[in-house]
Amino acid sequence: MRVVLVAIHSAPSPQAVPLANAFLKAYLSTDEDLAATVSVELCDFFAGDDAGEVVRAIAGHSPDVVGFSLYLWNRSAADRVATLLRGIAPGIVLFAGGPEATADPEGLLASLPYDFLILGEGEIPFLETMAQLRRGAMPRGVDGTAFRQDDAVVLAPPRSVQLLDTLPSPLLSGVLDIRRYPGLLWQLSRGCDFGCEYCFDYKGSRGVRRFSMERIDEELDSIVRSRVSQVFVLDSTFNVDRRAAKTILRMIRARAPHVHFHFEVRSEFIDREMARLFASITCSLQIGLQSADPAVLKGVRRGFDPRDFAGRVALLNESGAVFGFDLIYGLPGDSIQGFERTLDFALSLYPNHLDIFPLAVLPGTPLARRAAAAGLVHHAAPPYTLLGSPTFPPADMAEAARLATAADIFYSRGKAVAWFTSITAALGLSPAALLKKFGRWLADSAGAPHEQGLTDVEVWMLQRNFLGLAFAEAGRENLLLLALDLVDYHYHFAAALLAVPPEIPTDRALAAEDLLFCPCLLTPSARLVRFSYEITDLLEAGEFDLGEFAACFSPSGSWAAIYPRGGEVYTESLTEQQYQFLSALDGVTPAVQIARLVQVPDAEAASFLEIALSEGIVAFAS
């Protein structure tokens, strides 16, 4: 019997990994008879793929059974594919699992061609349904499944796997070939200790089950050997068990310093030691703030102490850890004014980025069950987003969406964390007021650009153009050049941080060349930048008041090279002649000719060029 498990990812990304399907395939191997007679193929597609092409690719495996992992982002795409498959191959058995199947089994079975659904954790029901199919029977009566019987939908309640280590590891078993993917999903636990009404994560029962530290240790070794560059940790309460979290962080620090890890964490369990451990590895943290209004959060069974939250986040800032916040607009009892206050609170804490979403009233959640009584009007189909509520009417939802776009472009994609507070203070605006102004300027001057379609350079130019207008309107034109210096420096710093450093020539290689007669050129990772103010003064000042700085320093002009080396980004102050010399290197003209053209003495040019080559600012022309 041939089984194809289909994963339809939202888009190509380091998170586009079929982990759930890999767990199913790995668990089937625990039954020797089934493993010998049932083959399982994992197929990956994307939500934007042509449905006909997807069907042809699946049919090419000549499957007897096809299963789909259903999520909010791919339900409609999977439904189209399943319907087309049923049309061309009526004898194929079709089933689905995942959060959408678990949350809305009646809706899926009412009009779509699935023969049955798997509810909740899928490993055990997948094995048992495949065993029934292998015997020639349509799956019926298996715990954790749903199927149609006459005009009714029959549900057999799901059951959880209590000892997670009984599930074979997709990584250690080789079922998931990590080398095929740009990133990895690493599951450390299942379940949730909390019961937020809008979330389906805890699936109706609280409590977290965790894989053993021994298994985590082995999987980390596998991750290190695979040379994967990014790992997304699937554990929505990673740091609730402080001791276990710190142990894992120390393991990562010792063995995987080159891998970037993404964690979801709860703020209330962060302490000073944990903050320093996060800062000691290459990672980013995502913290669910959602709203800064304790009453709003209490209404969805989520506690919040603003003072404690700010204090815990301060520990992250002190340690240098990178973190961002999740925000939701449209929660019951919230308003556009409340959302703006949440933005002000969030941005006062210096997050690296914000991820902002409209409320989604997900099927199967407590919030969905009381949505009508609470006056929540929302889409009935994915993505289930709120259209309006008694306190958040549709016009305000649209305004919040514009604010979210503005925050994503200007703050998150614009990498504004280092200068945002100084500039809002100089303009006399709150964070939300500045973003509102930017959002309206975008709509008036450039239409409503989709943030995903903008390049980093375009975002940078939007920031500069908008700030020119904002400082003029505020009557603070005298501070504009200083503001732009800050924006420019951090844009180039971020670009250098993401760039691949060049290979540095050895001292022997440098000594073997007459450098002045070697054609050289600027490396792609190095940035040459002009500033209005002295760059060393800007860097030494740290975070500062623009007005006070401008009162002490004059815009005398400066030049710098910004470049990566050894995992760090360096800023080298240059003279104007050095800047001109580096700018003129073209990979063809001998350096001595360029040095004389810009009036740099030969000896000085040779010494400077040797430094630039050894730092990775300049490279020999190939």
Do residues 528 and 583 touch, judged by C-beta distance below 8 A?
A: yes
| 3-state per-residue secondary structure call for 151-162 | CEEEEECCCCCC
Nearest to 271 by CA among 231, 236, 294, 241: 241
- Give me the pLDDT at residue 222, please: 94
The structure tokens 């997709």 sit at: 170
- Segment holding 8, helix H or strand E: strand 2-9
Residue 111 has pLDDT above 90, yes or no: no
Q: How many domains does the chain have?
A: 4
The pLDDT, as a whole number, for residue 453 is 80
Same domain, 398 and 378: no
Phi, psi of 422 (to 5 degrees): -60, -40
User: Is the pLDDT higher at 615 or at 450?
Assistant: 615
Q: Distance between CA atoms of 373 and 367, rounded to whole angstroms?
A: 10
| CA dihedral (306, 307, 308, 314) positive or negative | positive
Residue 189's SS3 state is strand
The pLDDT tens digits of the residues spanning 571-593 come to: 999 999 999 999 999 999 999 99
Output the pLDDT for position 450.
65
Q: Band the pLDDT of 203: cuts 50, 70, 90.
A: low
17 belongs to a structural domain: yes
Looking up residue 226, the CATH number of its domain turns out to be 3.80.30.20
In a domain? residue 175: no
Cα–Cα distance between 107 and 104 in angstroms, integer?
5
Q: Are residues 221 and 355 in the same domain?
A: yes
Mean pLDDT over the full length of the chain: 94
**Residue 236 predicted with pLDDT over 60:** yes
227 and 366 together in one domain: yes
The answer on 573 and 604 residing in a single domain is: yes
Q: Say yes or no: 437 and 324 in one domain.
A: no
358 and 408 part of one domain: no
Looking at the structure, tell me whether residues 359 and 403 fall in a common domain.
Answer: no
- CA dihedral (609, 610, 611, 616) in degrees, to 10, reads 90
**Given 331, 352, 385, which residue is the final one in a domain?**
385
SS3 375: coil
Same domain, 371 and 402: no
Q: Where are the beta strands (DSSP E) in 381-457?
A: 386-388
Span 290-311, pLDDT tens digits: 999 999 999 999 999 999 999 9
CATH code for position 513:
3.90.930
Task: Note the pLDDT of residue 493.
Answer: 97
- Give the whole-angstrom CA distance, residue 416 versus residue 603: 41
Among 62-66, 452-456, 618-622, the range with the most confident prediction by mean pLDDT is: 62-66
pLDDT per position as a tens digit, 485-541: 999 999 999 999 999 999 999 988 888 889 899 999 999 999 999 999 999 999 999
pLDDT per position as a tens digit, 141-176 = 899 999 999 889 999 998 889 899 999 999 999 999
Distances (CA, A) of 379 to 145, 386, 389, 390, 537: 26, 7, 12, 16, 53
What confidence score (pLDDT) does residue 151 get?
85
- Asked, for residue 449, whether it belongs to a domain, the answer is yes
Show Cβ contacts of residue 282 under 8 Å, excluding neighbours closer than 6 positions.
257, 258, 259, 260, 261
Residue finishing a domain among 352, 385, 418: 385
Instruction: Identify the CA nearest to 345 among candidates 297, 293, 407, 308.
Output: 293
DSSP letter for each residue of 291-348: -S-HHHHHTTT----HHHHHHHHHHHHHHT--EEEEEEE--TT--HHHHHHHHHHHHT
Q: Say if 490 falls within a structural domain.
A: no
Residues 292 and 272 in one domain: yes
Angle formed at CA 498 by CA 186 and CA 531, multiple of 5 degrees: 150
Local structure of residue 453 (DSSP, 8 states): G
Q: Which pLDDT band, with edges at 50, 70 and 90, does 451 fall under?
A: low
8 A C-beta contact, residue 36 and residue 73 = no
108, 138, 156 — which closes off a domain? 156
Q: What is the pLDDT of residues 123-135, one digit of tens each?
A: 999 999 999 999 9
Tracing tokens 């709120």 back to the chain, one arrives at: 386
Q: Are residues 42 and 137 in the same domain?
A: yes
Any domain includes 380: yes
pLDDT score at 182 = 87
Pick the closest to residue 392 from 372, 382, 377, 381 (CA basis): 377
What average pLDDT does the segment 382-399 reach? 97
Residue 201 is predicted with a pLDDT of: 66
CB count within 10 Å of CB 258 equals: 11
pLDDT tens-place string over residues 61-103: 999 999 999 999 999 999 999 999 999 999 999 999 999 999 9
Q: What confidence tier does 204 reach under pLDDT thresholds 50, 70, 90?
A: very low
**Comparing C-alpha atoms, which of 336, 440, 342, 452 is closest to residue 394?**
336
Backbone angles phi, psi at 391, to 5 degrees: -105, -5
What is residue 165's predicted lDDT score, i.e. its pLDDT? 96
Residue 494 counted as domain residue: no
Q: What is the mean pLDDT of residues 356-377?
A: 96
Q: What is the DSSP letter of 414?
A: T
578 and 448 share one domain? no
Residue 492 included in any domain? no
CATH number of the domain enclosing 80:
3.40.50.2300
| Largest Cα span, the chain | 92
Residue 398 has pLDDT above 90, yes or no: yes
Q: Are strands 2-9 and 39-46 parallel, antiparallel or unpaired?
A: parallel
Cβ-Cβ contacts under 8 Å for 141 (sequence gap 6 or more): 156
pLDDT bucket at 112, cuts 50 / 70 / 90: confident
pLDDT band at 566, cuts 50/70/90? confident
Q: Which domain holds residue 377?
A: 183-385
> 362: closest CA among 587, 70, 167, 143?
70
* Residue 283: inside a domain: yes
- Note whether 469 and 376 are same-domain residues: no
